[in-house]
Amino acid sequence: MNKRQVVPHRPIYPTPAGLITSVDAAGRPNILTLGEVFNISISRPVILGIAIRKERYSHQLISETREYVVNLPTQEIAQQVWYCGSVSGRTVDKFAGSGLTPVPAQRVRPPLIAECPVNLECKLLGVQEIGDHDLFLGEAVAQHVDEDVLDETGRIAVGKLRAFAFVNGEFWTLGQKMPRI
Amino acid sequence: MNKRQVVPHRPIYPTPAGLITSVDAAGRPNILTLGEVFNISISRPVILGIAIRKERYSHQLISETREYVVNLPTQEIAQQVWYCGSVSGRTVDKFAGSGLTPVPAQRVRPPLIAECPVNLECKLLGVQEIGDHDLFLGEAVAQHVDEDVLDETGRIAVGKLRAFAFVNGEFWTLGQKMPRI
């Protein structure tokens, strides 16, 4: 073992990319690409964290409307994930620009993204300034899962998710399930 | 698209497994396995979040000593990662039981784990109760990376990391780097 000390920068990997939908006061939807979404409270209740820079348009929208949806993407829409992270919803309609399909949610105003197999409707609990990002904490009040990725017991079959991970600035597919020895 | 509504439970994937080292007042080290570690503030400063249940021994140790190290594992030590998540440091010396190798850190008392290619020394900033877990926020005051996983420019080469992801209760290897179209 020969270790080198480096300057840390977004050091944790592999992390879950997410597409975060929100709406403005008139109901116009936006999409934010994030390189990570956090499972913080995992069951009672489920509380998801997302870290957003103050200058992002979605920071303003979610602060005002206090609702968002976390949509987990597949490899098939990786290009749209990059696109939604490269333009601002202040000037672009990202649903139109990406071709992604909005679907009405059940308990919040922001839409689900049809192409994402997992969608979590969240109601904002609070926002905290933590270093260079603000941490938004939201309770997941509803989860939707594509029937296509569920197994016969109703559990998510990971191999069907076509998921990918964000790793050191790159997207990587998942490989194989590791045996639990 | 045919979506089913389900009860959410730790719904975000794929997440980064971590081995968290801490020490008791006498300097005896412990190892905690987590299924996720959070990049919250990504550069100025780097602040990492870890969510720990109150009853875990590491919750007590880190609350008292206010230091921890986040060690990112490889596929080669997956069995040790499961092991460290299946026994309690209150009754077991997990370094002895796992065969993992402690290495002195530079700025904190908990050791690095030699077998992990990336190690982040953290000083605790604060703890917050969020649902069924407490969120520990720590500033990364030093990062160590194995020379073996760095490319010629000093950047981490993801393909050399032998990383894995935690997905829906399973460990999955990384597959391929996806082209950025």
Backbone angles phi, psi at A145, to 5 degrees: -130, 135
Say what the pLDDT of residue A5 is: 96
Picking from B43, B158, B172, the nearest residue to A170 by CB comes out as B158
Q: Block means of pLDDT (10 residues each) for chain A, length 181 residues?
A: 92 98 98 98 96 98 98 98 97 98 98 98 98 98 97 94 97 96 72
Say what the pLDDT of residue B24 is: 98
Say what the pLDDT of residue A180 is: 85
Token pair listed for B45? 């400063």
Say what the pLDDT of residue A181 is: 72
Per-window interface: B 121-180 vs A, CB < 8 A: 130-133, 135, 137, 140, 142-148, 150, 154-156, 158, 161, 163-165, 167-168, 170-178, 180
Q: Is A143 close to B6, i.e. CB distance below 8 A?
A: yes
Burial of residue A167 (CB within 10 Å: 0-12, 13-18, 19+) is buried
pLDDT digits (tens, 9 = 90+) for B3-13: 999 999 999 99
pTM of whole model > 0.95? yes
Backbone angles phi, psi at A9, to 5 degrees: -155, 115
| Total Cβ atoms within 10 A of residue B148 | 13
Per-window interface: B 51-110 vs A, CB < 8 A: 51, 70, 72, 75, 78-79, 82, 103, 106
Place of tokens 């990971």: A158
Closest CA to B22 of B63, B61, B71, B60: B61
The list of chain B residues with pLDDT below 50 reads none
Q: Is B178 close to A173, i.e. CB distance below 8 A?
A: yes
| Contact by Cβ (8 Å): A113, A31 | yes
Say what the pLDDT of residue B180 is: 85
Please tell me whether residue A159 adopts helix, strand or coil conformation: helix
Half-sphere exposure of A47 (CA within 13 A, CB side): 20
